[in-house]
Amino acid sequence: MDFQEIRDRLVLAALPHVVFEGWSLRVLAEAAVAEGLDPSLAERAFMGGAAEAVAHFAALADRMMEEDLAGRDLVALRVPERVLAVLDARFTRWAPHREAIRRGLAVMALDPVRAARATAATVEATWRLAGERSNDFSWYTKRLTLGAIYSATMLFWLDDPSEDCADTRAFLRRRLADVGRVTALRKQAGGWLGKLPRGVGLPRGL
């Protein structure tokens, strides 16, 4: 068993306990015992404490998201629908563990740099699985936009009482549609501006 597998097992085994006790090295040690492992492994595996464990859980969720989508053909879908399919798979898988994730977000709020890195990694994984390979300037704007959408959808999902996360799916679809409309308007406006006579521009102050 390699070190990553040990870390994976610890965070997954900790989820039922985190709901009641929060993320801590003590809970991870209890998870180790439940897995038949040496409890001292918890501290050795996550020397950065609870925040490191939560960040590893987020990275594990990224890897499992890819496994869940293996074999699914998303090529025929438009990019927003691909993104929807990818994130829907993620939210559906972890729906039984929302309270543990809520507690994880509270831990990460105390370590904003680590939290930002985890979100950026999830966004990058989502774009990759959605087949987005652009490396131009839009690379940045697309990822910043999706990061905001993902974060907002996560907060909505945490309190979604609907069956099979149906309301979260609808919420995410609306946010992606909003971005599509804004992008279309921006392109349309750019076309109009390109047709203006030379020297004619927007009024000052706009």
What tens digit of pLDDT does each residue of 20-58 get?
Answer: 999 999 999 999 999 999 999 999 999 999 999 999 999
What tens digit of pLDDT does each residue of 99-121 get?
Answer: 999 999 999 999 999 999 999 99
For the chain, how big is the Rg over CA atoms in Å?
A: 21
60, part of any domain = no
- Report d(CA 57, CA 150) in Å as an integer: 17
- Are 69 and 85 contacting, i.e. CB atoms less than 8 angstroms apart? yes
The structural domain count of the chain equals 1
- Report d(CA 151, CA 141) in Å as an integer: 15
51, part of any domain = no
201, part of any domain = no
126, part of any domain = yes
Count of C-beta atoms within a 10 Å radius of residue 139: 14
Kind plus residue range of the DSSP H or E element containing 30? helix 25-34
- Report d(CA 85, CA 129) in Å as an integer: 10
* Residue 179 banded pLDDT, cuts 50, 70, 90: confident
Torsion angle in degrees (nearest 10) through CA of 157, 158, 164, 169: 0
Q: What DSSP designation does 130 have?
A: T
Q: Considering the entire predicted model, what is its pTM?
A: 0.85
What tens digit of pLDDT does each residue of 123-153 get?
Answer: 999 999 998 776 666 778 888 999 999 999 9
Structural domain range at position 182 = 73-192
181, part of any domain = yes
Q: What does the block give as tokens for 23?
A: 């993320």
77, part of any domain = yes
Count of C-beta atoms within a 10 Å radius of residue 4: 13
- Model pLDDT, residue 136: 65
Report the SS3 class of residue 182. helix
